[in-house]
Amino acid sequence: MLLKDLLYKIPLLATAGSMDTDISSLTMDSRRVGPGSLFIAVRGTVTDGHSFIDTAIAQGATAIVCEEMPDIADSANTVTFVQVQDSARTMGLLAATFYGQPSKRVRLVGVTGTNGKTSVATLLFRLFRDLGYRCGLLSTVQNQIDEQVIPATHTTPDVITINQLLTQMLEHGCTHVFMEVSSHAVVQERIAGLTFAGGIFTNITHDHLDFHGTFDNYIRAKKGFFDQLPASAFALTNVDDKRGLVMLQNTAARKESYSLQTLATFKGKVLADSLFGLNMLVDDREVWFKLIGRFNAYNLLSVYGAAVLLGEDPADVLTLLSGVTPPPGRFEQVVSDNRIVGIVDFAHTPDALLNVLETIQDIRHADEQDRLPQIITVVGCGGNRDAAKRPIMAEIACRFSDRVILTSDNPRFEEPTAILEQMQAGVSPVDAKKTTTIVDRREAINRAVSLAGPHDIILVAGKGHETYQDVQGVKSDFDDRAVLRDAFLKSESAKE
């Protein structure tokens, strides 16, 4: 594609060189530059792409898009330079044009919120495949092109990768794509140039303040997704969240809502909740779901609403949703032979942990046993992330658990002991008696199993589906589910 055709309708500050040069690839990574590449110099949170312009030229870049013009004396005859106001946003517009506007040729639905993004996007993907469609999924757990699984490295990939994946999805006959939209992605313009058929808001709670600085900035980032939706799209929001209606204030999209508590486009009510599933009224239809917990009632209601807004029959949608199981690492159960119930969940924010523990409390009291089962919680907090939530999460764990073991999550480049000291600040003197700190996560899970008896419930929170632990930049194999199973086997063998 000619550079001048790529730049059509993009505001330019300055240019140097030929606009008739042919572009064979786009990249923001100088390591991926080759002859015919257009290199886009994007300012990131860690590195500035402008520092790699010389490298990109040496690698054979044909053109450079940048916010600051470099010294072009040595390369003006062979490389075209284009100066723009915002390289990140321009990259999205370029990628959409280069790949032939793939987001306009599928029904792309974005899901945003602090908690529930992965569950909602994955449930929609599974539902629409069950409805007979070929679908794509872009999520924290994995990207998927119908049956083909592609590992995910970010909640929302860069916009060039998104357009590449959307193009592959079209080639495989996909008609619907369901995508998590993180607040980082909105701010960093990783959804620029994409055309959405719909957007879903789940909730917003304390998270990512290490990146956004303030909670107001975080809210604005989430709202920014809805502000970008076209009039042809729907905007479906959770009106039980006090910021739910805020998301719709400036959107051009069709405004829709869902609720368990008040009037809404899609109304639900929880009739019963147990380890075996949820019994709900959804728009006056009684349905039994295999998913567990009030938080999943919201997830299911949002998925139902989105499916109906996409033109599907309500009765067909509810019938198929009644059979779906949780995504990996979301309230995933691992049960021992002597009936200790292990629950592995990705809960890594205060609100997510609260939701899971409240659900476990409800289940525990509803279970008719001679002895009230213990709740034993194993929880940590990730390093190089929002530190303000650490004592809050420890306090929540103590409030809803009989025993608490504070341990490492993904410490990344922080000292695990320092993270745990910050968590311990949320443990009251009274709760200190039931709280243990064990730095090694495997040892912590083993200790939880040793403390449990039949029907007791062990929650292992924070990592969910992850199959690694990140320590000082090194990712080693670690899967909470596998470790929990091993701990159950060892415990049972020791008792034989």
Residues with Cβ within 8 Å of residue 245, at least 6 apart in sequence:
237, 239
What span, in angstroms and rounded, lies between the C-alpha atoms of 111 and 120? 7
User: Which of these, 285, 272, 292, 289, lies nearest to 313 by C-alpha position?
Assistant: 285
Tokens of 132: 């007979």
> Is the pLDDT score of 74 beyond 70?
no
Above 80 in pLDDT, residue 242? yes
Residues near 443 by beta carbon (within 8 Å), at least 6 away in sequence: 407
Dihedral sign from CA coordinates of 351, 355, 356, 362: positive
pTM of the model: 0.80
For residues 98-115, average pLDDT: 96
For 6-16, write each residue's pLDDT tens digit. Answer: 998 899 999 99
Residue 212 has a pLDDT of 46
CA 51 to chain centre: 30
**pLDDT digits 0-9 by tens, 367-398:** 555 678 999 999 999 999 889 999 999 999 99
What is the pLDDT, as a whole number, of residue 83? 96
- Residue 64 CA to its chain's centroid (Å): 32
Over residues 281-318, the pLDDT tens digits come to 999 999 999 998 899 999 999 999 999 999 999 999 99
Q: What is the predicted pLDDT for the residue at 75?
A: 61
Cα–chain center distance at 394: 23
Distance CA 444, CA 377 (A): 10
Q: Are strands 277-282 and 266-274 parallel, antiparallel or unpaired?
A: antiparallel
- Lowest-confidence region among 41-45, 61-65, 129-133, 326-330: 326-330
CA distance 248 to 189: 20
Q: Is it the case that residue 163 has pLDDT exceeding 90?
A: yes
Give the tens place of pLDDT for each residue, 17-73: 999 999 999 999 999 999 999 999 999 877 899 999 999 999 999 999 999 998 876
CA dihedral 162, 351, 382, 482 (to 10 degrees): -80
Determine the average pLDDT of the residues in 258-279.
93
Q: 460 - beta bridge partners?
A: 344, 378
- d(Cα 198, Cα 231) in Å, to the nearest integer? 10
Identify the bridge partners of residue 14 per DSSP, sorted by sequence position.
83
Task: Report, as an integer, the average pLDDT of 147-175.
Answer: 87
Task: Please state the rounded mean pLDDT for residues 202-228.
Answer: 76
Radius of gyration of the chain from its Cα atoms, rounded to whole angstroms: 24
**Percent residues over pLDDT 70 in the chain:** 94
Q: Residue 474: CB partners within 8 Å, gap ≥ 6?
A: none
Q: What is the pLDDT of residue 366?
A: 60
With a cut of 90, say whether residue 325 has pLDDT above it: no
pLDDT at 208 over 60: no
Residue 363 or residue 463, greater confidence: 463
Sheet holding 375-379, edge to edge: 332-335, 341-345, 457-461, 375-379, 403-406, 435-437
Asked if residue 79 has pLDDT above 80, the reply is yes
Q: What is the dihedral of CA 152, 153, 159, 160, to 10 degrees?
A: -80
